[in-house]
Amino acid sequence: MTQESSPHGPAHPGAHHHEDEHGPPAPHRWATLALLCMAQFLLIVDVTVINVALPTVGDELSLSAGQLTWTVTAYTLCFGSLLLLGGRAGDAVGRKRMFLAGLLVFTAASLLSGLAEDGGTLIAARAAQGVGAAMLSPAAMAIITSMFHGAERNRALGVWAAIGGSGAAFGVLLGGLLTTSLGWEWVFFINVPIGAAVLLSVAVLLKENEGNKERSGGHHQDSPGSIDLAGALTMTAAPGLLIYGLVQAREHGFGSGSSLLPLAGAVACAAVFVAVERSVRAPLVRLSVLTRRSLVGGSVVMLAASGVLISMFFLCSLYLQHVLGLSALRTGLVFLPVAVAITLSAHLSSQAIGRFGWRPVATTGFVLGAAGSLLLAQVEESGNAWTQVLPGFLLVAFGLGAGFVSATTSAMSDLPHEDMGLASGLVNTCHEMGAALGVAVVAAVAGAGLEAGGESAPSVSGFDSAFLACAVISLGAAVAGALLLPRGRPDPSQGPVFAH
């Protein structure tokens, strides 16, 4: 999983610029790149690190199953739904300012997360982390694409791309190490000194005009008044209400008013969002872009791949620690080969897509994901992590790696340059939103099985149903990929595409 071009402006590495238009290279650009990548690394780690620590957090703070769900989804919900707004705001107030503000919010929220003594405080702090991430990430990507040009830009983006896979792999191991040795609080506290050091260093090294060079190159600079706040609000409220409705359905049933009302509200907010985007002068999402089948197909595939993967981390962490009694460290070690399998699959799939095309690779990947999910649906109360959990999880991970690459490369194919930024932002949004919605869905399906642990008797009740739900979603994504993704193969002349 890697991060792609800026979700708010032209950031495609294949963009055509003449070197003399950019002036001399920015001083300290490689040092600045290292700092920006370190900040992005923190954001990616925080998606997976919490999954390993989650059972310990739930036991120590006495979290309900619904609160466990929100602990994971609050971060990815705010991160994903506010990404486009964060990019637009960066253009309005300055990318360096937006990056520093986002990093400050993320770092402060990390401190509050570690200090939390109850579920409500932790969930609110996790949401604030997501807000900071949505401010930081698009600004960092835009700074990189404005500081580097030509061959240097491709090299810089290659470094940025590597952050996604390594961050996911490092996150699962770090979560186990910190939770076992220092306590779950340190999966958040560790962000504080690193975030503070990066913030101070970027403030000194980066000049504001270095982060905004391309804004004068024909790219319209947004004013604060042109930012589509109504679109951003409804874009956040719709999935937020959907997740809340799913959590309520898990506790009270889908026929209860407490679940039906928020689910209906989610549909209403989605309708309002479409109406707003059609009427405002500077919409957050130009709806005409959504008429492109390749972008819709790539976004749907990304939504499903992210949803199934993060759901697997969520479910397997609870099963391994609550049911099998593994420590957080041993759970992290079990997850490490999974993260490596995702990265390896992404590398191999990028070559396979060039040879066979998007549809065969994506369909095969999701069929593998469904097969792995079905294997996991056979877990037992006295199961073995290495022989009964890891094989199925590896199969899922390897299959979904192909899904991620197929989604990002197909969504960005055959688009005019002026739509690249928006398209990449939509795919990134689907990545984070898929994670939030996926966890909410499987938690609702798993039901009371998630509450096993602590003094309760170990139980696999609900886990089998949740893994079956992942299999169904994977098969649905395989069908969607076969129908919606482009028939052909990528055009090599378009250059590389980097996606989160």
Q: Which pLDDT does position 51 carry in this prediction?
A: 87
Q: Which pLDDT does position 125 carry in this prediction?
A: 97
Phi-psi domain of 181 (left: phi exceeds 0; alpha: psi -120 through 50; beta: other) = alpha
Q: Which pLDDT does position 1 carry in this prediction?
A: 44
How far apart are the C-alpha atoms of 86 and 134, rounded to whole Å?
6
How far apart are the C-alpha atoms of 439 and 34, rounded to whole Å?
32
Q: Cα-flanking dihedrals φ and ψ of residue 345, to 5°?
A: -65, -40
Amino acid identity of 192? V
For residue 149, give the DSSP letter.
Answer: -
The terminus-to-terminus CA distance of the chain in angstroms comes to: 5
Statement: residue 446 has pLDDT above 90 = no
Amino acid identity of 155? R
Using the CB atoms, write b or e for 410-420: b if 16+ within 10 Å.
bbbbebeeebb
Confirm if 305 and 410 have CB atoms less than 8 A apart: no
Q: How confident is the model at residue 167 (pLDDT cuts 50, 70, 90)?
A: confident
Q: Using one digit for the tens of pLDDT, what is the confidence trace for 42-84?
A: 998 998 889 899 999 999 999 988 898 999 999 999 999 998 8
Statement: residue 401 has pLDDT above 80 = yes
Q: What angle do CA 11, 491, 405 make, to 5 degrees?
A: 65
Q: Which pLDDT does position 23 carry in this prediction?
A: 59
- Which H or E run contains 44? helix 29-61
Q: How confident is the model at residue 249 (pLDDT cuts 50, 70, 90)?
A: confident
DSSP H helical segments within 447-489, as ranges? Answer: 463-484
Q: Using one digit for the tens of pLDDT, what is the confidence trace for 358-384?
A: 999 999 999 999 999 999 999 988 889
pTM for this entry: 0.84
Tell how far CA 486 is from the center of its chain: 24
155 exposure class (CB count in 10 Å sphere: 0-12, 13-18, 19+): middle
């199969």: which residue's tokens? 395
Statement: residue 424 has pLDDT above 60 = yes
- Which H or E run contains 108? helix 95-115
Most confident option among 88-97, 279-288, 385-394: 385-394
Statement: residue 317 has pLDDT above 60 = yes
459 exposure class (CB count in 10 Å sphere: 0-12, 13-18, 19+): middle
Please state which of the ranges 211-215, 262-266, 430-434 shows the lowest mean pLDDT.
211-215
How far apart are the C-alpha atoms of 188 and 107, rounded to whole Å?
9
Q: What angle do CA 121, 122, 125 make, to 5 degrees?
A: 85
